[in-house]
Amino acid sequence: MMSRLTGRSLSTIEHIKQSIQDILTTPIGSRIMRRTYGSLLPKLIDAPLNNTTILQCQAAAATAILQWENRISISSLTINQLSKGKLVFDMQIQLADDTSTQDLQVPVNFGAAV
């Protein structure tokens, strides 16, 4: 498993985190051979920042991760930090081949890097 940014080797958890970031930032319908791959999060970028939008972001993230990342199951998923173009998801996950739970923090950036 390799980092898409550096080309270096990644641990399983780091690769899962990278995979989740890719899933959540890919708009559904944008992949030619996998039209259903991705999440609805990119469609929520310009939505007003209120409790409804936060709930929609959590639901969109959980649905996409459950569909596309079969190496884990999610026990809990919350949004820890919100800022312009950036969400940080706090998750409690269980690896498919392990019985212990782990905490995972996944930052998701939309737009230009600052």
Structural domain containing residue 18? 12-109
**Is 51 among the domain residues?**
yes
**Is 18 among the domain residues?**
yes
**Is 76 among the domain residues?**
yes
Angle separating helix axes 12-25 and 51-68, nearest 10 degrees: 120
CATH number (domain holding residue 18): 3.10.450.40
Q: What is the pLDDT of residues 58-83, one digit of tens each?
A: 999 999 999 999 999 999 999 987 77
Is residue 57 within 8 A of residue 82, CB to CB? The reply is no
pLDDT value for 55: 94
**Is 57 among the domain residues?**
yes
**Is 2 among the domain residues?**
no
Number of domains in the chain: 1
**Is 5 among the domain residues?**
no
**Is 72 among the domain residues?**
yes
**Is 16 among the domain residues?**
yes
Checking if the pLDDT of 103 tops 90, the result is yes
Q: What is the pLDDT of residues 3-57, one digit of tens each?
A: 888 889 999 899 999 999 999 999 999 999 999 999 999 998 888 888 998 999 9
22-55 residues labelled b (16+ CB within 10 A) or e (exposed):
bbbebebeeeeeeeebbbbbbebeeeeeeeeebe
- pTM value is 0.88
pLDDT value for 112: 56
pLDDT value for 86: 81
Residue 111 — pLDDT band, cuts 50, 70, 90? low
